[in-house]
């Protein structure tokens, strides 16, 4: 009876160890994917900001040109 309990305990420890290692590897991969996703989102955010900033400058230039044309008349 004691031998059966010891065998069951050893099997349980092995299974729990495998689950712990597997969980650690999986969580590490998930964390790396989240870091990569955040990196891509940050780059996307920066490009959108730069595009909107360039668009604002073009709009202001167009407004200045229109104002110059109005004063020429």
pTM check: above 0.85: no
Each of the 73 residues of the chain gets a pLDDT tens digit; together they read 899 999 999 999 999 999 999 999 999 999 999 999 999 999 999 998 888 887 766 666 666 666 566 665 5
Q: What is the pLDDT of residue 54?
A: 78
Distance CA 65, CA 58 (A): 10
């Amino acid at each position: 009876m004691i031998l059966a309990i010891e065998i069951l305990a050893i099997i349980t420890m092995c299974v729990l160890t495998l689950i712990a290692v597997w969980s650690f590897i999986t969580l590490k991969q998930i964390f790396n994917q989240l870091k990569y996703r955040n990196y891509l989102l940050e780059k996307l955010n920066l490009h959108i900001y730069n595009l909107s900033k360039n668009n604002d400058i073009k709009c202001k230039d167009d407004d200045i040109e229109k104002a110059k044309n109005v004063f020429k008349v």
